[in-house]
Amino acid sequence: MVAPVARPHALREDRAWTLLQEVKDPEIPTVSVLELGLIRSVKQGPAAILVELMPTFLGCPAIEAMQQMIREQLAELGTIDVKLVTDEPWTTSRITEQGREKLRCSGFAPPPRGDSLELHVLQPHARCPYCDSSDTMLESSFGPTLCRAVHYCKACRSPFEQFKAI
């Protein structure tokens, strides 16, 4: 029988991933940074655990708050270094199925699927998170935060927000 390959850091890294599930987006506190696909990697280094955080938008003011929250949440594991990733764009396709469902339950339409570099993906008839109608219109691509657009549902006459495709 072959012995399993020793991964001395695996336990600590696994623990970090578990703890990260409790770090929520400060602007949408029902959804975790994992469900939004914001964590690229977690690695135990010689002196610290390195967490790679992918910003949704580069100007997102929640970035620093999230770095701080991650350091605090993972404090039991020692020094935590939260590095921002800029060599790979975060895109809305990184949001997990569970994340999409939680967004919907919080009153946000999940982002449209597909490559957001295609223009038709950006102006969809978003499905209303309240009544599920597609009879909706995009009111403004710019909402209360950089990652949200404002729509209006003509069926139930409710304004709602959608996570922007990026």
Partner 1 sequence: MIDEKLVPLLMALADDELVLGYRDSEWTGIAPLLEEDVALSSMAQDEIGHARMFYEMVSGILDKSPDSIALGREPSGFHHCRLVERPRGDWAYSMARQFLYDAADGVRLEMLTRSTHKPLALGVAKVIREEKYHRMHGESWIGKLAHGTDESHRRLEAALLQLWPDLPGFFEPVEGEAELVKAGVLPEPFSALLPRWWQVVEPVLARHGLHGPNLGLNAFSDHSGYGGREGRHSEDFVKLWNEMTLVYGVDPEAVW
Residues lying near partner 1 in the complex (CB under 8 A) are found at 57-61, 86-91, 116-117, 119, 122-123, 139-144, 146, 150, 164, 166
Burial of 89 from C-beta contacts in 10 A (0-12 / 13-18 / 19+): middle
| DSSP line for 2-59 | PPPPP-TTHHHHHHHHHHHTT-EETTEEEEETTTTT-EEEEEE-SSSEEEEE--SSTT
Shortest spacing between CB 47 and partner 1, in angstroms: 20
Q: Which residues pair with 140 in a beta bridge?
A: 150
Shortest spacing between CB 14 and partner 1, in angstroms: 29
Shortest spacing between CB 93 and partner 1, in angstroms: 11
Tell me whether residue 48 or residue 122 sits nearer to partner 1 (CB atom).
122
Tell me whether residue 44 or residue 136 sits nearer to partner 1 (CB atom).
136
Tell me whether residue 42 or residue 63 sits nearer to partner 1 (CB atom).
63
Tell me whether residue 91 or residue 158 sits nearer to partner 1 (CB atom).
91
Would you say 35 and 25 are in contact if contact means Cβ atoms under 8 Å apart?
no
